[in-house]
Structure 1
Amino acid sequence: MVDVAANPSLLPTLTPEEVRRLDRRHVFHSWSAQAKIDPVPVVAAEGARITTDDGRTYVDFTSQLVNVNIGYQHPRLVAAIQEQAARMTTVSPAMANDMRSAAAAAIAELAPGDLNMVFFTNGGAEATENAVRMARLHTGRQKVLAAYRSYHGATAGAISLTGEPRRWGSEPAVPGVVHYFGPYLYRSNFHATTEQEECERALQHLRDIIAAEGPHHIAALISETVVGTNGILVPPDGYLAGVRAICDEFGIVMIADEVMAGFGRAGEWFAIDHWGVTPDLICFAKGVNSGYVPLGGVIISDRIAASFQDEPYPGGLTYSGHPLACASAVASIEIFKDEGIIERARDLGEGVIGPRLRGLMEKHPSVGEVRGLGVFWAVELVSDRATRAPLASMAEVTAACKAAGMWPFVAGNRLHIVPPLVITEEELDDGLRALDTALDVADAACVV
């Protein structure tokens, strides 16, 4: 055995200047024109705060990519990963492993209905890819319905499912994906004036799409239970139950993409639990272990799993069910239970975040709508409440948030309020005060 104590660290210690220089020279960043970005080095993070290389500390209202649900450097989760690294770092997915078995059992126990098996991936995009593959093989059909206001990942299949403009650069896409409009009352595609009208008309629109595409050709419908990056759109009551009924009527596999909304973000283990609906497949990642080690997967119903009992499933990944990742998921779920994090997220949404944001809406004419649940909220900014014209000057609002000590999540004309679920009320208050200040900047560009 190597005496670790007698050996110096193999890891370099870089100055902030070296980090920036090497980043510019060697790191190719996603979704970016490389010459037009200057990523800020984060030198420390703990709980719900991050510290950048200039020594400034911010309340993080982004949870990075809405994934650090348990907060940064949770000591129990870090210790669990260290413990597992000392036991076993890796093993083939063709073999059984204690942490893989334990993680699958723990995740299946949380899932609704008969979703009892788990296929592990490295992240959300691979989860949606494999869920669609399972649905196509199970049904023998090829078409897949996906919403326009959606993001399902950036691999070839996942970006084809994605409805928002980020898919454009990857087209022509994988064939067979048909997009539809989901409910969004504030900017209704269906000229609805109430939640009930929006629900009914969105479901009728879905039926019309299915009729036009041929229900016997449609393998699956995939949707984000609560739409994430495209607006934190909470479906009206009755919508998901209606989707479930339509899928049952036509033999379509219902896939719930819970990559962002799952594991406490919406105040339940899975957001779909709010509406008591059981899909056929659930895609997860992000909050399952807060990104401490890459992990995602598909939770599979008994009915879908039965298709692959005697016929092999034609898919796999070298790191499927990686022991370090699975150990972190097992530990994270236990921490969530021990520390009441799901209940805390629900209470923060109902008792603190929702009321505070609605108060800001009353104060600031630039706020067109506030919506969300759990620790998953959007503040939609407009330049004119009457016309609902989106606010264009988001760069100034972003800068104002940072100047006031809050790191914001900006998507289109929206500020998403998505801090770690473990954020303290004091930290939340600091971040919301910063938001209040930034909304003054938005108001200056608003028609009153």
Structure 2
Amino acid sequence: MRDIAVNKVSEDQSKLHDVHSDKTESDYSKVMEYTQQILQLIEKEELSREDSEWIREETLNGYRDHVNPGYLFSRKTVDLSREFAFVEWRDRRNSFIDVDGNEYIDCIGGRGIYNIGHRHPKVVETVQNQLKKQAMHTHDLLDPYRAVLAKTLAELAPGDLKYVFFTNSGSESVESAIKLARKYTNRSTFVATTASYHGVSLGSLGATAKAHYRKPFLPLAQSFRHAIFGDVDMLYKMMKTQEMVGEEVAAVLIEPIQGNAGIKMPPDNYLSEVRNICDEFGALLILDEVQTGMGRTGKMFYAEHENVVPDIMCLAKALGGGIMPIGAVIATEKVYEAFMDEPYRHEHTFGGNTLACVAAIATINVLIEERLPERAAVVGEYMLRELRAVAARYPKIVQEVRGKGLFIGVEFFDSVVGFDVSKGLFDNKILVEGTVGDVKTFRIEPPLTIEIEQVDRVIATFDKVLQDVQQKYNFI
């Protein structure tokens, strides 16, 4: 009987081998050869001219044929003066280097992920050390690093925020916060603010308030109302109205500074007043600190500027140090109890994975050791002051320069002019971030490690580009 079973297994293995061999010969050989070529390029410290040309061609073809050709016409990827795409290859602490070896000062900061700079050696070393032992957790056993990181964030967060749920991105953090608020309050109506951006997954998109993102996907999954950002009277009336019609608000979701809207600043004491309104109506306050967190505005979290403690806070982007993607939702114990009875009801396969957690632990260590939130406050104040001084010389071009810490927006009177200024900076090897669908305002969001000499170069180049634009359009 045993011999029959062994023979059957051998026959099955033989058949499997034959099938695998056929597919390898017919389908896999080209993929094997192509990926091997890529792996050999990854091993190289320096690229030859032929390597650079091949990478650029493969990148362009890949985006056109298999990613999305729309990216090829984005200002961020196309140098219009040479009519080919900008293809990045490696980086230094505060800069990117393209496949041709050109170096660009990074004033985008990966849309906020590079707060501690690119490839910080402490974070890289920590991830490499962990990778030698274990990359991912099993899920069935308890992961020590998730526990350690949760405790660290609870110590770092304002007030009585205590329990942490880990995600992979800002959108996932917002989704998790929405679900937690719904379960805790047993309410389904939410309030966000106009011009807000909280993600583009179907749940978080309900909170995002830009028609550009929303219209193609209406109706949305969540019941969101939108009050004008900064208008506490409107918010109060909206909360009262919802109460009167029996649709009490579960939570108010707010970006302390609206990044995607062009670094739109709140009025003084805005968060404090929103906190009071939430308390009056029994609603939770959710702060989306995905961009403003981890030292970006001059404190570890923007909430500290107003001494406001939310019920739930969302983090992502810079939490992983630009090495690993990781997000987090931090809540008070009272609120988080809604997730405690059945912890597996809401989870992610990769959320809080081992490599991401050790990267975040190292990132927090670096932020504190190098005093980067304090540095963002000092360097940001200097950069903001100097940019405003330059802008004042071009009153018909620049409408406003605003921001907090190293989270700065430059708004122009005209989108075409704004594009020309962004393009001029790009041509002078400085990357800035235009608002999606509109470059009337661009963002300056560099690593918090940016050197003063680099800041001075950005300011001088900004002045030079504005001079060129003034002559081009004959502004007097």
Give the shorter-chain TM-score range: 0.7 to 0.9
Shift of 1:94: 4.7
- Counterpart of 1:19? 55
Shift of 1:95: 3.0
Distance 1:290 1:41 in 2: 22
- Counterpart of 2:31? none
- Retained in 1: the 8 A contact 2:118–2:322? no
- Counterpart of 1:400? 424
Distance 2:425 2:229 in 1: 31
**What is the CA deviation profile of residues 9-36 of structure 1, one whole-angstrom value per residue up to 9, with x for unaligned ones?**
9923173333333334444557x72564
Amino acid at match of 1:398: S
Q: Secondary structure at the match of 2:39?
A: coil
- Retained in 1: the 8 A contact 2:206–2:223? no
- Counterpart of 1:360? 390
- Retained in 1: the 8 A contact 2:111–2:445? no
Q: Identity of aligned pairs, percent?
A: 31
Amino acid at match of 2:95: R
Distance 1:442 1:280 in 2: 47
**What is the CA deviation profile of residues 312-350 of structure 1, one whole-angstrom value per residue up to 9, with x for unaligned ones?**
562110011111000000001111111111111111122
Distance 1:442 1:371 in 2: 21
Q: Secondary structure at the match of 2:190?
A: strand
| Aligned mate of 2:451, from 420, 424, 441 | 424
| Aligned mate of 2:221, from 160, 165, 174 | 174
| Aligned mate of 1:257, from 279, 288, 295 | 288
CA pair 153-92 structure 1, distance change in 2 beyond 3 A: farther
**What is the CA deviation profile of residues 107-151 of structure 1, one whole-angstrom value per residue up to 9, with x for unaligned ones?**
111101111111000010000001000000100010111112111
- Retained in 2: the 8 A contact 1:254–1:281? yes
- Counterpart of 1:307? 338
CA pair 92-404 structure 1, distance change in 2 beyond 3 A: same
Distance 1:288 1:302 in 2: 22
CA pair 131-245 structure 1, distance change in 2 beyond 3 A: same
Q: Secondary structure at the match of 2:180?
A: helix
Distance 1:406 1:259 in 2: 24
| Aligned mate of 1:73, from 119, 124, 133 | 119
**What is the CA deviation profile of residues 273-327 of structure 1, one whole-angstrom value per residue up to 9, with x for unaligned ones?**
1010000000000111233111001011111112233355621100111110000
Unaligned 5+ runs, structure 2: 1-35, 43-50, 78-84
Q: TM-score, normalised by structure 2?
A: 0.82
Moved more, 254-263 or 288-297: 288-297
Amino acid at match of 2:418: M
Amino acid at match of 1:357: L
* Greater helix fraction, Structure 1 or Structure 2: 2
Amino acid at match of 1:12: Q
- Counterpart of 2:20? none
- Counterpart of 1:210? 239
- Counterpart of 1:322? 353
CA pair 228-338 structure 1, distance change in 2 beyond 3 A: same
Q: Secondary structure at the match of 2:97?
A: strand
Amino acid at match of 2:152: A
| Aligned mate of 2:70, from 14, 33, 55 | 33
Distance 2:474 2:353 in 1: 50
- Retained in 1: the 8 A contact 2:203–2:222? no
Q: Secondary structure at the match of 1:178?
A: strand
Q: Secondary structure at the match of 1:156?
A: coil
| Aligned mate of 1:338, from 322, 346, 369 | 369
Distance 1:10 1:408 in 2: 30
Q: Secondary structure at the match of 1:402?
A: helix
**What is the CA deviation profile of residues 245-297 of structure 1, one whole-angstrom value per residue up to 9, with x for unaligned ones?**
01011111110000011001111111111010000000000111233111001
Distance 1:143 1:224 in 2: 18
1:270 matches 2:270: no
Q: Secondary structure at the match of 1:173?
A: coil
**What is the CA deviation profile of residues 427-448 of structure 1, one whole-angstrom value per residue up to 9, with x for unaligned ones?**
1111222222222244354865
Distance 1:228 1:242 in 2: 21
Structure of larger gyration radius:
2
Distance 2:114 2:474 in 1: 33
**What is the CA deviation profile of residues 20-56 of structure 1, one whole-angstrom value per residue up to 9, with x for unaligned ones?**
33334444557x7256455521122111111112321
Q: Secondary structure at the match of 1:272?
A: helix
Distance 2:37 2:143 in 1: 29
Moved more, 210-219 or 156-165: 210-219
- Counterpart of 1:60? 106
Distance 1:211 1:302 in 2: 27
**What is the CA deviation profile of residues 30-89 of structure 1, one whole-angstrom value per residue up to 9, with x for unaligned ones?**
7x7256455521122111111112321111110022221111121111111101111210
Distance 2:135 2:344 in 1: 26
- Counterpart of 2:5? none
CA pair 93-247 structure 1, distance change in 2 beyond 3 A: farther
Shift of 1:231: 1.7
Distance 1:432 1:404 in 2: 12
Amino acid at match of 2:388: R
Distance 1:207 1:168 in 2: 27
- Counterpart of 1:225? 256
- Retained in 1: the 8 A contact 2:117–2:448? yes
- Retained in 1: the 8 A contact 2:314–2:328? yes
- Retained in 2: the 8 A contact 1:92–1:319? no
Amino acid at match of 1:362: A
- Counterpart of 2:97? 51
Corresponding residue pairs, total = 414
- Counterpart of 2:156? 110
Unaligned 5+ runs, structure 1: 1-7, 184-201, 383-389
1:434 matches 2:470: no
CA pair 443-147 structure 1, distance change in 2 beyond 3 A: farther
- Counterpart of 1:128? 174
- Counterpart of 2:276? 245
Q: Secondary structure at the match of 2:132?
A: helix
